[in-house]
Homo-oligomer: A and B are copies of this chain.
Amino acid sequence: MKDFAGTPGTFTGLVLRVSQCLFAAGSIASVVTAAGFFRYTAFCYLIASMGLQVFWSFALAWLDSYALVKKKIIHNPILVSLFVIGDWVTATLSLSAAASSAGIAVLFYRDLGVCHGDCLKYQMSISLAFMSWVTIKTSALIMLWILFTG
């Protein structure tokens, strides 16, 4: 299997996983400190999705660190298939959660001209969720490439 920037067990792969984790954790932190977020299903879905993202990315970051320290190769086809499934599921959930929350934010901010609770915190949370999606999508594409090219 190929070994290039972003693949599992490389420093860039670890950086990608840590970024996903930090963006997702930032998104959760931003939305839970906003007043009344629990009244909106979309924001609760955002928290659930970003929570799953933190959990998944943290596990893979830990695995990358272990592979880096022990100088182990983790390009096993079964492991890579699992990474592909996990990455694609979390990427799809992250994008849909970020987009549905963005729909609500645009509705309040632009369409209705009202801002319930802490608008800026919602916007910050959504931006961080989109950044988390960009990094997980990058990982997902790299994983798919490794899987398809063997």
A: which residues have CB within 8 A of B? 39-42, 92, 95-104, 106-107, 110-111, 144-145, 148-149
Residue ID in chain B nearest A39 by CB atoms: B111
Would you give the shortest CB distance from A42 to chain B, in whole angstroms? Answer: 4
Q: Which residues of B contact A103 (CB under 8 A)?
A: 42, 99-104
Whether A110 touches B41, Cβ cut-off 8 Å, given contacts A99-B95, A100-B103, is yes
Looking at the complex, which one of B39, B106, B148 makes contact with A144 (CB distance below 8 Å)?
B148
Residue with the highest number of chain B CB atoms closer than 10 Å, among A40, A100, A103, A111: A103
For A103, the closest partner residue in chain B by CB is B100
Minimal Cβ-Cβ distance residue in B for A42: B103
Q: In the assembly, what is the distance between CA of A92 and CA of B94, in Å?
A: 12
Q: Which residues of B contact A101 (CB under 8 A)?
A: 103
A41 contact set on B, CB distance < 8 A: 106-107, 110-111
A34 CA / B100 CA spacing, docked (Å): 20
Bound: A100/B111 CA distance, A: 14
User: Which of A100, A104, A144 has the most chain B CB atoms closer than 10 A to its own CB?
Assistant: A100
Shortest A94–chain B CB gap in Å is: 11
Residues in chain B near residue A106, CB distance under 8 A? 41-42, 100
**Identity of the chain B residue whose Cβ is nearest the Cβ of A107 in the assembled complex:** B104
User: Known: A95-B96, A99-B99, A100-B102. Contact between A107 and B148, CB under 8 A?
Assistant: no
Contacts of A39 in B (CB 8 A): 111
